[in-house]
Amino acid sequence: MKFQAILAPLAATLFHEASANTFRQRQVDNLTSRIEAETTIALQGVLNNFGPDGSEAPGASAEVLIASPSTENPNYYYTWTRDAALTLKMVVDEFLHGKGDLQPYIRSYVKAQAIVQTISNPSGALGSGRGLGEPKYYANLTRFNGDWGRPQRDGPALRATALITYSRYLLSTGIDSDGTEAGNIWPIIQNDLNYVAQYWNQTGFDLWEEVDGSSFFTTAAQYRALNEGAALGKQLQQEVSAYESQAPNVFCFLQTFWNGNYAVANINVKQSGFSRSGIDANTVLTSIAMFDPGASCDDTLFQPCSSRALANLKQYIDAFRTIYTINQGVSRSGTGVATGRYAEDVYFGGNPWYLTTLAVAEQLYDAIQQWSTVNTITIDDKSLAFWQSVYPSAQTGSHTKGGYSDFTKLTDAVLAFADGFVETALKYTPENGALSEQYSRENGTALSAHHLTWSYASFVTMRAARLAVTSDYGQVPSWGSPSNPKVPTTCTPGSVKGTYKPAVAAGAPSDAPSCTYLITFNLNATTSYGENMYLFGNSSDLGGWRVSDALAGSAADYSDARHLWTFTVELPAGAELEYKFLKKEPSGEVLYEAENRSLAVPDCGDESPGEQTMEEDWNGPVGSETE
């Protein structure tokens, strides 16, 4: 167990006073055994989804982690940057806990991400950094041109965090004595951090790929990445001023999601008619993503044990107590129930998800770790309702460990409450232990994508958090969250333009174009409701003349005065291309222009990306086919 040394074991375990024979203890032991059995299945479930040899990932490129083997209804046979990064963070944490045989997967991930960063896609390319915000790629590491909620700006931040955790391990153990491995990984992290520093203050799609706005989860992930990235960069003697200058701005912005009662999942929402409460698993996943075992119960950092995060958690859980049939009969507050993404969800019938139910437990186990480290629980007006739901006689005030205080009773109550969510997830896990995305709100049967990588990863991280409080397993390393960070009095928007380079030493192709042009096509085209404009052409960036791969235009600036459709395409400098516009009718009929247009992208100047705008007029329709 040579890796154990860098983990801080939490000295006190919670059961020192409990008699091993009590009913509660037998229940706990029973759950522990079932968790261990499921963990073996879950970890293997993740590895099965790794290409090219994973049993569930046939045809996936080497090093690619697919989201699920499901190829229809829904088709998740893609690699998502977010899902892969969250899963790899789990893999790195397990590796740090002594699972040495996981290192090849981490190294494979590094290589795959070096390649992924260079794949130009509908969000853009590496030259401007915009391509890093693309949510997903085909399992054979090619671009996916279909309509999608893009960009999604959490991916680069989460990938940076997974790679930073691994790099810190490399540097702290001296295993990478000349710093070569960490040095090769840094350019990947640097591209991602540059992306965050440049684009954090622009909207994008949330982690559920539905809402175009600013997501609490994304903003928090960005803050953490900038913070720990600056620290790692300094250690590697790299330029980090952009990260240090933007981190306080992101931190300030993060505070604005709090509405007094809970963190609102999405703000700055662009879609009209958007009306949700904002109570969403997004925020529970945020507290886990922000968890630092070395932090105090800080509200501004939304630490799992903070009053804000606990109040938020209660609002979240209670939103599901009455809406699911399977929760009926367990609606007493203080009991674990099935939870989903958000109460208004209708995707696949709007069911509970395994990963969101397990996230509740994980936040609470994380919180217990933090209270046990600081030896104190402080109950205030904000967190009182949470506490009274798990421990009815709870009162505001501080409870310090030892003496006559309620500290142990409080943490025991939280542990039992958390265990109730794991019991719920296990109750609705099929006998073979396979974890899908969802389980039915009506009867608990597994639904939607099967063998979901993220479901499996969430089980393993939940288990590690639980073991950290019930055994001498050890904690995840601190990410160096600041203590008592000061929230700026006024929030400042911000952006630092970054430079982006293929991480060749880590495995990026050496001929990947790093110099690009952002070409904006302003197309005048009169359309009626349900008609959409597309662009396609003779390169892979332009869909290779395939209607199904044509790039969708945006009608965001369309008005009665100006019938404007816009396309922003990032193309390699010096390319010569042919293209034309298409109109898709609501019936599926495709109308296209007769004449092909041509374009010569200028050669690379001093600065990448160059920018150019083309003014165009729809010249169709003349041809027609049905898609």
Ligand X SMILES: *[C@@H]1O[C@H](CO)[C@@H](O)[C@H](O)[C@H]1NC(C)=O
Could you tell me which residues are annotated as the binding site for substrate?
A: 148
Beta strand 589-592 with 623-626: parallel, antiparallel or unpaired? antiparallel
Among 25, 443, 499, 554, binds ligand X (CB under 6 A): 443
**Cβ-contact 60, 52 below 8 angstroms:** yes
Residue 349, helix vs strand vs coil = helix
Task: Between 607 and 627, name the residue whose CB sits nearer to ligand X.
Answer: 627
Q: Does 138 bind ligand X (CB under 6 A)?
A: yes
Smallest gap from Cβ 349 to ligand X, in A, equals 5
For residue 334, is it left (φ>0), alpha (ψ between -120 and 50) or beta?
A: left
**Looking at 206, 366, 406, 437, which residue is catalytic?**
206
In 314-430, the DSSP E strands lie at 376-379, 397-400
What is the total count of residues that contact ligand X (CB under 6 A)? 36
Query: Using CA atoms, how far apart are residues 519 and 567, in angstroms rounded to an integer?
Result: 8
**Bind-site residues:** 148
581 binds ligand X (CB under 6 A): no
In this chain, which of 4, 22, 25, 33 binds ligand X, going by CB under 6 A? 33
Q: What distances in angstroms separate CA 129 from CA 347, 498, 549, one per listed residue?
A: 31, 8, 22
Contacts to ligand X from residues 167-206, by CB under 6 A: 201-203
501 has which bridge partners? none
22 binds ligand X, rule: CB under 6 A:
no
User: Is 557 a catalytic site residue?
Assistant: no
CA distance 224 to 161: 8
Is 615 one of the binding residues for ligand X (CB under 6 A)?
A: yes
- Asked if 230 contacts 162 with a C-beta cutoff of 8 angstroms, the reply is no
Q: Name the segment binding ligand X (CB under 6 A); options: 80-88, 188-196, 442-450, 550-558.
A: 442-450
524 counts as binding ligand X under rule CB under 6 A:
yes
142 is an interface residue for ligand X by CB under 6 A:
yes
Residue 209 falls in the annotated catalytic set: yes
Give the integer Cα–Cα distance in Å for 59 and 348: 27
Question: Is 378 among the residues that bind ligand X (CB under 6 A)?
Answer: no
Report the residue number, 340 or 474, with the smaller CB distance to ligand X. 340
Q: Does 539 bind ligand X (CB under 6 A)?
A: yes
Q: How far is the CB of 578 from ligand X (least distance, A)?
A: 4
Distance CA 500, CA 608 (A): 9
Contact with ligand X (CB under 6 A): which of 304, 592, 608, 609? 592
Nearer to ligand X, 34 or 382 (CB): 34
Interacting positions 233-272 with ligand X (CB under 6 A): 252-253, 268
**Residue 243 C-beta: closest distance to ligand X, Å:** 17
Task: Report yes or no: 350 and 291 within 8 Å, Cβ to Cβ.
Answer: no
Site residues for ligand X, window 457-496 (CB under 6 A)?
491-493
| Beta strand spans in 514-560 (E) | 516-524, 532-537, 551-552
- Find where tokens 């965050």 sit: 196
Verify binding: residue 445, ligand X, rule CB under 6 A. Answer: yes
Residue in the block written with tokens 């460990």 = 401
CB-nearer residue toward ligand X: 241 or 443:
443
Q: Count how many Cα atoms sit within 13 Å of the Cα of residue 198 in the half-sphere of its side chain.
A: 18
Active-site option among 176, 209, 380, 616: 209
Question: Could you give the strand order of the β-sheet that contains 266-267, starting from the edge strand earlier in sequence?
Answer: 204-205, 212-215, 266-267
Residues 436/450, Cβ–Cβ less than 8 Å:
yes
Residues at the site binding ligand X, with contacts judged by CB under 6 A = 30, 33-34, 138, 140, 142, 201-203, 214, 252-253, 268, 349, 440, 442-443, 445, 491-493, 524, 538-539, 545, 562, 576-578, 580, 592, 596, 598, 615-617
Indicate which residues carry an active-site annotation: 206, 209
